[in-house]
Amino acid sequence: MESEGLKSSALADTIGVNRATISHILSGRNKPSIDFLEKLLSAYPNINANWLISGIGYMHSDIKKNEVVSTKKIGKVVVFYDDNSFEQLNS
């Protein structure tokens, strides 16, 4: 709602659910049903379903998965073991 600049009533109208449904979900009284999620994803296909359900990943699915975030490359990895020994792995 925030990213689209919508009030709960406008969201309910857009996805075709009762306004009380949105109110109950936002208050924590009810959890969204599969039907609700399907309607939401149908109306907003750019929303990442995995993020919507689990909170993992990006909100919008149109973000390129292989988008370069940093130009840095890994030079070495150091693994520390329980016995306080370690091993250096070079790339």
**pLDDT 10s digits, 40-71:** 999 999 999 999 998 888 898 776 555 555 56
pTM, two decimals, is: 0.64
**Among 88, 91, 21, residue whose Cα is nearest residue 11:** 21
Closest C-alpha to 38, from 67, 57, 54, 17: 17
Nearest CA to 32 out of 2, 11, 46 is that of: 11
Number of C-beta neighbours around residue 66 at 10 A: 4
Length of the chain: 91
Task: Please check the confidence at residue 15 and state whether its pLDDT lies above 70.
Answer: yes
